[in-house]
Amino acid sequence: MFLLDVNALVALCWSGHVHHSIALDWFKTHARRGWATCAFTQAAFVRVILQPAFSGESLQAGHVVELLARTTAHPKHHYLAIDFDMRRVQETCTGGLLGHRQITDAWLLATAMRHAARLVTFDKGVASLLATQAERADHLLVLAASPTPV
């Protein structure tokens, strides 16, 4: 099973996102193995899409929540509970938890690991939370972002 971080979830659901085709191609191949969201990813999804700077328009929260509900109605979707504390998060991060910008990623990684899932992200930096390549292979999947056009 795979836990999508907010960037992967937004890219999957928002056709105008720069990485939409990458996320959609990945999803078509892997969703049948099971995929998930959690409280953090769902809340961030709504927060990101509601920002007029992101969507280019002023959307109503109800519409964004409905988009999320339609997406998570997928038959292979799972909702992963976050039922542990910060100590568990820190213990999960064998590569160390070094700064404030890693906190949400660390929670997501710990959530994925607690539920025997892999965290799916575009953020290569998340890998630093795990000490070994073997751990990264077991618990993390970094999607390759398309190269920036020259």
Q: What is the tens place of the pLDDT at every residue in 103-141?
A: 999 999 999 999 999 999 999 999 999 999 999 999 999
The confidence band for 147, taking pLDDT boundaries of 50, 70 and 90, is: low
**Cα 125 from Cα 129, distance rounded (Å):** 8
Burial annotation 18-56 (CB, 10 A radius, 16+ → b, else e): ebeebbeebbeebbeeebbbbebbbebbeebbbeeeeee
pLDDT band at residue 84, thresholds of 50, 70 and 90? Answer: very high
Residue 81: pLDDT band by 50, 70, 90 thresholds? very high
What pLDDT, on a 0 to 100 scale, did the predictor assign at position 10?
Answer: 97
Q: At residue 27, does pLDDT exceed 50? A: yes
How far apart, in whole angstroms, are the C-alpha atoms of residue 72 and residue 75? 8
For residue 56, pLDDT beyond 90: no
Domains of the chain in start order, with CATH, are 2-142 (3.40.50.1010)
The model carries a pTM of 0.92
